[in-house]
């Protein structure tokens, strides 16, 4: 099994006629993802060069093609409306790749999506992959291998580094999820940890965190109380200076809290092994 996406996922790409949307839609389709439609208001009726029908709205994609998942590549000012449109159309899972989305827009759209029963991943994330089944987003599918380790990460590039090392050691992945690096995002550690705990084919979990906020500390407490499967952690930002944002909008140490050292200590106190380097994750899970 896997979590959130599989062979039954029917994907609509919001913003498919844009540069990024079109490029990554073609890559997702080539990987084997069931891309059933794309949307671009006013361009309905087109067919992309890689054979995906373009529609004017997500509602049409749901009605005509049975879409149940969407991925968003529209510019940041239009993301709030795109998330709300997908949720209102009945999309079950919404993955937002776009970066630079105003935080208040995400707060509003996330609340609306939740009220409609939709799950949100992102924004500012690399997406999600269940190797051999479905790829949604911008992840390099060639480094992933089907297997039994779940991966949850705030960092796209560190996801790839950890996955590369897992695959090199013969440890495939059930599902890998980039949750996004913004201060406010959709599904996060606790929800995804529980999904992996409930998935019989996920035998272990790799969690990648970074400085800023207290999500990792909350995850450590949740693991101690609710997760029985092996978990290994890497926290990025050990040398980051206070009050300086490092890469992601959410990666900032403020008022002395949110440091890598505090997060590492929280996991160690919960009995979760912490890697000093991403390459150590496979051995900690073995």
Record the tokens describing residue 275, joined without a space: 């890697």
Neighbour tally for 49: CB within 10 Å:
8
Say how far apart CA 183 and CA 189 lie, in whole Å.
Answer: 14
Burial category of 37 from C-beta neighbours within 10 Å (exposed 0-12, middle 13-18, buried 19 and up): buried
Q: What are the φ and ψ backbone dihedral angles of 91, each rounded to 5 degrees?
A: -65, 130
Q: Which residue numbers are catalytic?
A: 248
Give CA 172 to chain center in angstroms: 18
- Strand order across the beta sheet in which 127-130 lies: 134-137, 127-130, 173-178, 146-153, 204-210, 231-236, 274-275
């Amino acid at each position: 099994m896997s979590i959130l996406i599989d062979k039954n996922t029917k994907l609509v790409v919001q913003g498919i006629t844009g540069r990024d949307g079109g490029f990554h839609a073609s890559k997702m389709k080539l990987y084997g993802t069931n891309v059933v439609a794309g949307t671009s208001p006013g361009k309905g009726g087109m067919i992309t060069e890689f054979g995906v029908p373009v529609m004017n709205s997500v509602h049409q994609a749901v009605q005509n093609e049975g879409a149940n998942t969407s991925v968003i590549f529209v510019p940041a000012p239009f993301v709030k409306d795109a998330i709300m449109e997908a949720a209102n159309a009945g999309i079950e899972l919404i993955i937002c790749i776009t970066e630079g989305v105003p935080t208040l827009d995400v707060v509003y759209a996330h609340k609306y999506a939740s009220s409609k029963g939709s799950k949100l991943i992102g924004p500012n994330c690399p997406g999600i992959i269940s190797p051999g089944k479905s790829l949604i987003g911008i992840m390099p599918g060639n480094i992933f291998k089907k297997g039994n380790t779940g991966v949850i990460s705030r960092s796209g590039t560190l996801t790839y580094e950890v996955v590369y090392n897992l695959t090199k050691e013969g440890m495939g992945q059930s599902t890998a999820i980039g949750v996004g690096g913004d201060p406010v995002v959709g599904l996060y550690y606790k929800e995804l940890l529980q999904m992996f705990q409930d998935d019989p084919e996920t035998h272990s979990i790799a969690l990648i965190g970074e400085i800023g906020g207290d999500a990792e500390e909350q995850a450590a407490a949740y693991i101690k109380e609710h997760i029985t499967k092996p978990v290994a952690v890497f926290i990025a930002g050990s040398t980051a200076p206070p009050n300086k944002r490092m890469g992601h909008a959410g990666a900032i140490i403020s008022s002395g809290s949110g440091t890598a050292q505090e997060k590492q200590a929280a996991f160690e106190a919960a009995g979760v092994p912490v890697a000093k380097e991403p390459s150590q994750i496979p051995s900690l899970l073995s």
